Structure 1
Amino acid sequence: MRKSIIGLSAPVLIGVLAAISAPAMAQDAPTSDLTVTGNAAVVTDYRFRGISQTDRRFALQGGITVSHSSGLYVSTWGSSIDDYVASGSDQELDLIAGYTKTIGAATVDVGVLYYYYPGSGGANTDFVEPYASVKGTFGPATAKLTVNYAPKAKALSVGNGKEDNLYVGGDLSASIPNTPLGVSAHLGHSFGPSYLTIGKEYTDWNIGATYTWSHLTFGVSYVDTDKSSFSPSGRNIAKAGIVGSVTASF
């Protein structure tokens, strides 16, 4: 039952009002439906589906995501690249829009990713890639299946007109209970032929581990493919390698 404050003296009344006003204001403050997250990273090699985009050298990367409580989100992510990737461009910019929803034990994510390569001199290097994934969590472990399909585009051509590309990948990850450590594994297959494949098709895989400290995550992974591909410098950019990373999240 609410007590009446009528008849209280001025000092007591002021004290009561002061005591109840702060919690009331805090409770009445609206909760935002938007969440903004971001990250910045340094990696020893930028591997896209197992193939180096930086001639097996360092890359600077970063991204930001705005998510709505409805499940809708937009995101942008960028990385430095070598000029053989996209006709002289020295950076990749990914523009993403999607929707995610949890249904029972599964989380479904669908969206569209646009690969933009500024500074490519007007060449056909940009392309669109719709994607869909489903993941489930089992204790400390998470399993995820992803399908990416890039419709026919001149940017994907290997000399036969417009080409398309299909990529199917599976991921397993787990955090080690009561520790800042995590482990992961990935297996993917690219179906072509297209600019994204080595010949007609190829398989890539990696295994890795992470250590998280405050807002920083330190990672190391072993990356490999079942084919070879050489950059203009003569390096095999599909060769097995160890990739290290330091990522700051905010």
Structure 2
Amino acid sequence: MAFRGLAVWSQSVVTLQSPKASNSKGLEMKKYVMPAFVAAAVVAAAPALAADLKPVYKAAPAPVAANPWDVAIGAAVMTDYNFRGISQSDRGAAVSSYFEARFKPTANIEWYAGLGGYSVKLATDPTAEIDIYGGARLTWDKWTLDLGYWYYAYPRERQIDGVIVTVPSGATSLGNTDFGEFYAKLNWNPNDNWAFSVQGYYTPDWLRSGADGTYGALTLKYTGNALPSGWNWYVSGELGHYWLGTTDQVFTPTGVAVFNNITGTGGIDLPDYTYWNVGLGFTYKALTIDLRYHDTNLNEAQCAVLTGDPGAGPISPISVTNVGAVGVGSKWCGQAFIGKLSFDTTLSALK
């Protein structure tokens, strides 16, 4: 804009002077007047030109501090609540939900604490299963180590004399089966498709029976490439084994099917068992549809011993288990095909 004004002004000076400039003095004046105006205009325009050419330096914006706090929430509906191969909902539908607070002080450490709940139908007829848990996740490269403690509470269990429950089938269960366990999970994700995990859980008092319980498992998951529809898919499986100890509760000398609190009498040697599952899942944003097959190597008599299933029925021939001859059997531990629809997200993902 400065140069355009300069051209107009210079031209008007030349036009006014040239018609009357016939002598040498006029010529000489013409010679000096125009360069003078040009020089003055250039000097006047120089600051604007310099301002246009001068590089502009702006301070880099201050980095936005990442919020170390987050909350994960989720809910699910399933055709059966299966826990390590055993139905917790009498082979019927169940619902669940959870809330998990997370604190991540560094990129490699995350502390968490959660509260969850499941609808159940068990021998002691509790209102629900309430899970309280917490721990830390430590991450480095492609590895994650998850260490924590999980407590299973079953409020308002029905009881007889405050200790035992004898269900209609004649099976027996302790009246208070709340218990907790320590756990450790080592996860390896070599790439975006594969995930491997080794898991271990330990309780010194399984279902308040006095028996210790150790569960170890290997899991494998393959996540495929996204489908054209925007859905993702995966296949996964788990192979685990449950080592269960000896209770500090025994049957009464008369053989009545109730527990008697007599420590040091040998107790009941609970049956160990192997559990496995394999399934196919589909995910879309926060939604997951999981279709899975579950099974164990427990027979029906062993299942009745572990569960106290009130629906356990007579079996023939009578099975011999770790606790002796058992004439009833439960179907809570056998083959099961379960469908599950779940929703999982975090507050940070919703922003």
Shift of 1:245: 0.5
Secondary structure at 1:90 match in 2:
coil
Q: Which residue of 1 aligns with 2:260?
A: none
What does residue 90 of structure 1 align with? 127
Q: 2:342 aligns with which of 211, 233, 247?
A: 247
- How far off its partner does 1:134 sit? 0.4
State the alpha-carbon separation in 2 of the partners of residues 133 and 249 from structure 1. 20
Which residue matches 1:119? Answer: 156
Match of 2:180 in 1: 128
**Structure showing the higher helix proportion among its residues:** 2
SS in 2 for 1:83: coil
Aligned: 1:182 with 2:221: no
Deviation per CA, 1:76-127, whole angstroms, max 9, x where unpaired? 121001031xx22031111011001113332111001111111125632211
- Residue 218 (structure 1) aligns with: 289
Structure 2 residue 270 is matched with structure 1 residue 207: no
Identity of aligned residues (%): 28
> What are the residue-to-residue correspondences of 1:36-55 with 2, within 5 Å?
36-55=71-90
| Aligned CA-pair RMSD | 2.3
> How many residues align structurally?
219
Structure ID, larger Rg: 2
TM-score (norm 1): 0.81
Amino acid of the residue matched to residue 178 of structure 1? A
Which of residues 214, 232, 241 in structure 2 aligns to 1:166? 214
Instruction: List alignment gaps of at least 5 residues for structure 1.
Output: 1-19
For residue 208 of structure 2, what is the aligned residue in structure 1?
156
Q: Which deviates further from its counterpart, 107-116 or 172-181?
A: 172-181
Measured after TM superposition, the shift of residue 214 of structure 1 is 2.9
Distance 1:167 1:194 in 2: 15
Counterpart Cα distance in 2 of 1:172 and 1:101: 20
**Contact residue 194 and residue 200 of structure 1 kept, 8 A:** no
Aligned to 2:257: none
* Alpha-carbon offset, residue 198 of structure 1: 9.8
Q: TM-score, normalised by structure 2?
A: 0.58
Greater share of residues in strand? 1
In structure 2, list runs of 5 or more residues that go unmatched: 1-57, 163-174, 248-267, 313-329, 346-351
Match of 1:107 in 2: 144
> Offset at 1:178?
2.5
C-alpha distance in 1 between matches for 2:246 and 2:290: 31
